[in-house]
Structure formats: structure tokens, C-alpha cells
């Protein structure tokens, strides 16, 4: 659950609100214009932007059936999970380490520590609404969802007033404590509900659900590969990804959340797990609509091109021919961020006993 609640790359192939600098010695491969809410803006790809072809948005004409005529390797969005070690600055990672340390200290002092923080008071206040752990679980998820999605929807307006970095700090500062509270409550009360089924003794079930949970993490983190941007060391952006896992589904976080919820609900088999899964899946289904709406508002026709050749349901666009996988598609996953996700996923699995012990000591 932490993966889904504790919720974007340093380069952009698409236009930002401000005109990009043209003082780039590298000649652009293509120039185009994209409709904007304010005014059309011509742009050139920056030096760090990976353009796979000379395609423009105008090449993305569709037939009456709605299929795209763009060549198989054409791209108008961004190349996801790209990572170039030579472009990393040591100073940026030093800033990241300092910021991470400060955030964790403040989170512990102001929210987690029962003697100084407000986390227990928050849980106690929500718990007064009902004696049912299922109801409290749903209310906690609803509060988190309202705040998280609400702040995401207000991102453009908020960035106008206080800037991208400051708004990212505000977004994380409000969302993170609520996420921690919801995760801790789920861990502490996951076995308190009504037992609906008991399948843990089935020999192959644990292995099957473990693999499903492992796969879910590759869907859950498509937009947080750049930790520097997450921590606002790099300027945060609303990205339009088009490669990697986006070829499989345009909303990988929703798919990953569904896989995670199904695996944990089947394993635990009680009413608290069902309530948690119902709330989380509902939140992410809303995120599908809200995410598409925000991208359409920001990127206009460019998003419509990506939308036509991707799908919400995994593999649907591939099966009906709208998405053409390149011959070397596997290389889009052989990148450092995916290896880091693999290591972190294994680490979280083996750290389950530590997470459970730490949560139980909070008495939330």
C-alpha cells in the first residue's frame, strides 16, 4: 500500500509554458506547434530531449476507425525511464540527501512520534466516526484521495502563484503524512475484520501472489523515476510519457494498484482488506479520468495523439494494432530506474517484519 499512497523527468520533448531557449548548437530534428490554452507556441527539442524520429504531430492522422498512421517508431511524447549518468550532478544528489533527511525528521517529529506529532490525534479523530475498522479504513483513504487528487487538480493554478518547486513541497508536505497514517492503520488492522475466506494454506498461492505483487511495482512507479524531480531539486513537470510501460497501458499506476490490491485481498481474505482495496481502486479509477483531463489540458493535440495509440486496459492497444512495439522494445526496460525498482521491491518484501513492528509501536 505504501507504494500506491506515497506518491514526475528532467527533460521534456514537449513545450512548456515558457518558450524554450533557442541557443542550442544542435539543430532540431523537427519543429511543430501545439495548441495551448493561452497561445500556440513553437518549440525546439532541448539537447537532453530524445527524439526517436522526425515525426510531427501532423503525421498522426487517423483513419475513420481511429487508428493512427504514425510510423511504428514515431514518438511525440517523452522517452520514459531514460537515465544518463554523465548528466548527473553530485551537488544535486547532495541537495537531495539533505532534503530527504530534513523531510524524514520533520515527518517523524510533527506526525509520527506520538509524543510530539499529530498523527495519533488524526487517527483517533477519524476513529470516532465509527467502531468499524472497515469504515475507518475507507474514510482514511477518502481523505487522502481528496487531498491528493485535489492538489493534483489545482497544480497548474498553484504553480502560477508559488512556482513549481514550492507547490511540489506543499503537495508532498500534505499528502505524505496522510499516506503514512493510512498505511500504518492498514498494517495494524489488516486482520481485524471479518474473515471471508482462508486460502493461505494453498501451496502455490503464496508464490503466485508474490510474483503478482512484484510485477505491480513496475506499474506503480512510472512517474517517479527521477528522484531529484520528486524532491524538487530539479523543477517538477507534468510529463507526457510514451515509451516503456506506457506502451502497455497509459495508466500503469492504476493497473499496478489493482494488481497489488487483488494479491493482498486474496491473501488476507477479510473485510478490512476488501474495504482497503475498494477505496484504493476507486481512487485510482478516478485518477484515470483526472489524469487524462490534466494531460489534455496541458498538451492538447499531442496528448490526443498519444491517447489514440495507447490504452487504459493493458495490452489492448497492442492487440488491436494501434500500438506498434519497436523490435528492440525490451531495451526500454533495461535502464537504471527499473533496476532500482527491482532492488527496492525486494527490499520492501524482506522488510515487511520491520514495517509491521514499527507500525504496531505507534498504536494507531
| Annotated domain spans of the chain | 86-362
User: Residue 74: its pLDDT value, please?
Assistant: 65
Confidence of residue 36 (pLDDT cuts 50, 70, 90): very low
Grid coordinates of 122? 488524526
Mean pLDDT computed over every residue of the chain: 82
% of the chain exceeding 70 in pLDDT: 79
User: Residue 141: its pLDDT value, please?
Assistant: 98
Q: Does the pLDDT of residue 46 top 90, yes or no?
A: no
- The CA-CA-CA angle for residues 83, 86, 87, to 5°, reads 70
How does pLDDT run across 270-327, given as a tens digit for each residue? 999 999 999 999 999 999 999 999 999 999 999 999 999 999 999 999 999 999 999 9
Q: Containing H/E element for 281?
A: helix 271-299
Q: Which residue, 266, 239, 280, is CA-closest to 137?
A: 280
DSSP-assigned letter for residue 26: S
User: Residue 24: its pLDDT value, please?
Assistant: 40
User: Residue 63: its pLDDT value, please?
Assistant: 40
Reduce the DSSP state of residue 68 to 3 states and report it. Answer: strand
Confidence of residue 223 (pLDDT cuts 50, 70, 90): low
Confidence of residue 195 (pLDDT cuts 50, 70, 90): very high
- Check if the beta carbon of residue 362 is closer than 8 Å to that of residue 121: no
Amino acid at each position: 500500500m505504501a507504494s500506491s499512497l506515497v506518491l514526475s523527468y528532467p527533460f521534456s520533448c514537449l513545450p512548456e509554458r515558457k518558450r524554450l531557449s533557442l541557443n542550442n548548437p544542435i539543430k532540431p530534428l523537427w519543429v511543430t506547434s501545439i495548441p495551448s490554452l493561452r497561445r500556440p507556441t513553437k518549440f525546439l527539442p532541448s539537447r537532453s530531449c530524445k527524439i526517436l524520429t522526425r515525426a510531427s504531430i501532423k503525421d498522426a492522422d487517423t483513419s475513420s476507425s481511429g487508428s493512427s498512421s504514425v510510423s511504428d517508431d514515431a514518438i511525440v511524447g517523452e522517452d520514459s525511464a531514460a537515465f544518463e549518468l554523465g548528466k548527473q550532478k553530485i551537488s544535486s544528489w547532495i541537495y537531495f540527501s539533505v532534503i530527504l533527511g530534513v523531510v524524514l525528521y520533520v515527518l517523524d517529529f510533527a506526525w509520527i512520534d506520538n509524543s510530539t506529532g499529530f498523527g495519533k490525534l488524526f487517527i483517533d479523530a477519524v476513529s470516532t466516526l465509527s467502531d468499524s475498522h472497515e469504515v475507518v479504513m475507507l474514510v482514511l483513504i477518502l481523505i487522502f484521495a481528496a487531498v491528493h487528487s485535489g492538489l493534483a487538480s489545482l497544480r497548474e493554478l498553484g504553480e502560477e502563484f508559488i512556482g513549481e518547486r514550492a507547490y511540489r513541497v506543499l503537495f508532498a508536505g500534505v499528502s505524505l503524512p496522510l499516506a503514512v497514517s493510512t498505511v500504518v492503520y492498514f498494517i495494524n488492522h489488516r486482520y481485524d475484520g471479518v474473515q471471508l475466506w482462508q486460502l493461505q494454506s494453498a501451496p502455490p498461492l503464496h508464490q503466485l501472489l508474490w510474483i503478482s505483487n512484484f510485477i505491480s511495482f513496475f506499474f506503480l512507479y512510472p512517474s517517479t523515476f527521477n528522484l531529484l524531480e520528486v524532491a524538487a531539486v530539479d523543477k517538477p513537470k507534468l510529463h507526457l510519457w510514451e515509451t516503456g510501460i506506457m506502451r502497455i497501458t497509459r495508466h500503469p499506476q492504476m493497473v499496478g494498484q489493482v494488481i497489488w490490491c487483488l494479491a493482498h485481498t486474496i491473501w488476507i481474505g477479510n473485510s478490512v482488506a476488501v474495504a482497503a482495496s475498494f477505496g484504493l481502486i476507486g481512487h485510482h479509477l478516478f485518477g484515470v479520468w483526472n489524469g487524462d483531463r490534466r494531460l489534455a489540458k496541458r498538451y492538447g493535440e499531442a496528448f490526443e495523439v498519444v491517447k489514440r495509440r495507447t490504452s487504459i486496459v493493458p495490452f489492448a492497444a497492442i492487440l488491436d494494432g494501434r500500438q506498434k512495439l519497436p523490435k528492440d522494445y525490451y531495451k526500454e526496460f533495461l535502464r537504471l530506474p527499473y533496476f532500482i525498482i527491482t532492488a527496492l521491491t525486494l527490499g520492501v518484501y524482506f522488510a515487511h517484519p520491520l514495517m509491521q513492528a514499527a507500525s504496531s509501536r505507534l498504536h494507531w
